[in-house]
Structure 1
Amino acid sequence: MKSISIHAMSVSFGAVQVLHDVDLDIAPGECFGLVGESGSGKSTVLRCASLLNENWTGEAMIDGRNVRDMDVRERARTLQMVFQDPYGSLHPRHSIRSALAEGLRVNGITDREPRIAQAMQDVGLPVEFLDRYPHQLSGGQRQRVAIARALVLEPDILFLDEPTSALDVSVQAEVLNLLVRLREEKGFTYVMVSHDLAVVDHMCDRFAIMQHGRIVEVLPRSAIPGNEATQRYARELIAASLEYERAM
């Protein structure tokens, strides 16, 4: 288990400042949520902390080590990301075996087949699927493959960027329960971006509400049912989510 600490993270795209001095401290083994409306900067935090976007200021630390001081291989073995679109994140002309083996090959890991088989087992997919292609799988199966691809390098931290929003409701529950089980079994630290407070309530220990690239408030999961937020925007966001859930 490893901690994550983000301090004064700021980033601009052209003349538009997208993040403003974001500060977060996430405990080892915690599942921490980032919620807010579209464009609030949630996914940008993940992309900066993982160095998918390198042009930002501030610090992102993993167990006290600056991510900028890690070489690519060390960072890949420490931190992996699962993206929103399970079809778009998998190469349509690469088999599932190729998708899972690529990271191992790039990182110079030789015991590829046992790791690939174990990852498939971990996400509940038969090894026979390794010779299939993404279009031959359902959306839920593709997202399980995307999770397996993250698992093969045996990281300590998973960044989850809306990992179920592109899936049917019934499949969402399966994938969320899979992520809960993996965290319990492997001790992952999760940072999960979501627009759905029901998902946050199911998955996360704490969550931060973001607006216009700023952290508005950090709350425990237990604050959701009774809307215990103190900041106006946070209260309005939670109230809207609770009203929507009651209307369903």
Structure 2
Amino acid sequence: MKSVSIRDLSVSFGAVQVLHDVSFDVTPGECFGLVGESGSGKSTILRCASRLTDGWDGEVRIGDASVREMPVRERCRTLQMVFQDPYGSLHPRHSIRGALEEGLRVNGISDREERMAQAMRDVGLPVSFLDRYPHQLSGGQRQRVAIARALILEPDVLFLDEPTSALDVSVQAEVLNLLVRLQREKGFTYLMVSHDLAVVDHMCDRFAIMQHGRIVEVLDREAITRGGATQPYAKELIAASLEYETAI
């Protein structure tokens, strides 16, 4: 288990500043959520912290190491990301075996067959699915493969970018329960982006509410149902979410 520390993270795309001095800490083994409306900068934090996006200012540390200073292999072994779209995150012409094996091959890991088989078992899929292609799987199965691909290098930290928002409601619950079980069994640290406070309530220990590229407030999970938010926008967002949940 490793911590995640983000300090004064700022980034601009052209003339538009997307993140403004964002700072927060995630303790080892914690699930920390990032919540806010579309365009508030949640996913951009993950992309900067994982170095999928460069050109940002500030500091991101995983444990004691700066992500800027980590060699690529070390960073990949320490940090992995599960993306929002299970249909787009897997190459349609690569088998599941190919998707899982690539990271092992690039990192010079030899016991590939056993690792791939174990990763499939970890996410509740038959090992025989290794020889299937993405179009032969359901959305939920594809997202399980995406999680298996993230697990296979045995990282300390997982970034989860709306990992269930593209799935049907019943499948969402399966994937969320899978993520909870894997965290309990393997001790991952999660940094999770979501627009759904019900997901945050199910998954996260604490969460930050974002607006216009800034963190408005950091709250414990209990603040969703018991109150505790002090900032007006945070109060409004939680109240709107609870009202929506009640209405449906």
TM-score range, shorter chain: over 0.9
* Displacement after TM superposition at 1:107 (Å): 1.0
Residue 110 in structure 1 maps to residue 110 in structure 2: yes
- 1:76 maps to 76
Separation in 2, partners of 1:86, 1:114: 24
CA deviation vs aligned residue, 1:89-147 (integer Å, no higher than 9, x gap): 00000000000001111111111111100000000000110000000000000000000
- 2:88 maps to 88
Map 1:12-27 → 2, pairs under 5 A: 12-27=12-27
Partner secondary structure for residue 128 of structure 1: helix
- 1:245 maps to 245
Amino acid at match of 1:126: P
CA deviation vs aligned residue, 1:135-178 (integer Å, no higher than 9, x gap): 00000000000000001100000000000000000000000000
Question: Contact 1:227–1:239 (CA<8 Å) still a contact in 2?
Answer: no
CA deviation vs aligned residue, 1:7-33 (integer Å, no higher than 9, x gap): 000000000000000001110000000
Separation in 2, partners of 1:206, 1:222: 9
- 1:36 maps to 36
Partner secondary structure for residue 242 of structure 2: helix
Question: Which residues of structure 2 form unaligned runs of 5+?
Answer: none
Separation in 2, partners of 1:25, 1:79: 16
Separation in 2, partners of 1:55, 1:136: 38
Separation in 1, partners of 2:246, 2:203: 20
- 1:127 maps to 127
Separation in 1, partners of 2:196, 2:207: 12
Separation in 1, partners of 2:56, 2:108: 29
Taking structure 2 as the reference length, the TM-score comes to 0.99
Taking structure 1 as the reference length, the TM-score comes to 0.99
Moved over 3 A (4+): none
Separation in 2, partners of 1:154, 1:10: 29
Residue 137 in structure 1 maps to residue 137 in structure 2: yes
Amino acid at match of 2:21: D
Partner secondary structure for residue 226 of structure 2: coil
- 1:227 maps to 227
Amino acid at match of 2:246: R
Separation in 2, partners of 1:129, 1:13: 40
- 2:194 maps to 194
Separation in 2, partners of 1:50, 1:143: 20
- 2:215 maps to 215
Separation in 2, partners of 1:63, 1:94: 34
Partner secondary structure for residue 222 of structure 2: helix
Question: Contact 1:87–1:139 (CA<8 Å) still a contact in 2?
Answer: yes
Seq. identity, %: 82
Separation in 2, partners of 1:101, 1:227: 46
Aligned residues: 248
* Displacement after TM superposition at 1:226 (Å): 2.5
Residue 173 in structure 1 maps to residue 188 in structure 2: no
Question: Which residues of structure 1 form unaligned runs of 5+?
Answer: none
Partner secondary structure for residue 81 of structure 1: strand
